[in-house]
Amino acid sequence: MKVGLIGLPNSGKTTVFNLLTGQRLPAEPFFTEGHTVHLGATHVRDERLDFLHTFYPRAKLKYTELTFLDMAGVPVGGAGHGSRAELLAHAREPDALVYVVMAFDDERVMRPLVEVAMVHNMPILSHTSEPVGHRYPGKGSVDPGVVYRFVELFPEATLVCAHWGGGLPFYELMPDVMRRFRNVYYDTAASLYLYRDKIFFLAGTLMPGKILFATDYPLIPQRKMHARLVLAGLPRGTLAKIQGGNAARLLGLKG
């Protein structure tokens, strides 16, 4: 599978590319003819394959490979026709495109993306971080305040905030925030590194229809995260919603 990273110059594409592929390319703008894309790949570990390999140790073990294309940001009003044509040709290669932005609450930057997502009834996923607490690789600048400004600009857009939205579920105890955030959902990714397990029960009780199961795999295996969720003591109906019911409803999937 090929994934293309797109965005304006200095939006953070190469930084994300380096984190995903283990490369150390300079995080600086590049856009010249013959040099409009960086290419890298990574393998996705799968504990199921590891388990099967214990029974068939002589079999070749091959993990799923993801190829990433770090595509140069097009400078506004700059670059020649040849470079643009080359970049567009690369943009047709990936199976998926990831739009990297550094201005999540900037209406001018985000409106085109939001409008396309709404036309196709697609949710927008935000990597959301806590404004306090320990620093760690990958902790970003999109915190609850930035998300709040985004929701003010685009109240009808469906937004999924990763990592419990940096604590946003608890701000929804404020009536005004709850009213504004009617189209905002939260996933549980990386929860075991960020919060005590009580967060499953507390957030599941506060908003059982807005929590989506996620792990941040391969950082945390699915079985490990799921076991902790099951032990949280949530009612069976709430557990079913978090395990997949909420996601199915959000994505328009039928069981």
Residues 20-63 pLDDT 10s: 888 888 877 666 555 678 889 988 888 888 888 888 888 888 88
Alpha-carbon dihedral 122, 123, 127, 130, rounded to 10 degrees:
170
Range(s) of the chain covered by CATH 3.40.50.300 = 1-100
What is the pLDDT, as a whole number, of residue 145? 94
Hey, what are 255's tokens?
A: 């069981």
**Topology adopted by domain 103-255:** TIM Barrel (3.20.20)
pLDDT of residue 214: 95
How far apart are the two ends of the chain, measured CA to CA in Å? 27
Q: Span 68-97, mean pLDDT?
A: 72
Per-residue pLDDT at 78 exceeds 60: no
Residue 80 is predicted with a pLDDT of: 47
Superfamily name and number for 1-100: P-loop containing nucleotide triphosphate hydrolases (3.40.50.300)
**CATH 3.20.20.140 domain range(s) in the chain:** 103-255
CA distance 98 to 69: 10
Dist CA 247 CA 206 (whole Å) = 17
Percent of the chain with pLDDT over 90: 46
Q: Per residue in 3-25, pLDDT tens?
A: 989 887 777 788 888 888 888 88
Residue 79 · residue 67 · CB < 8 Å? no
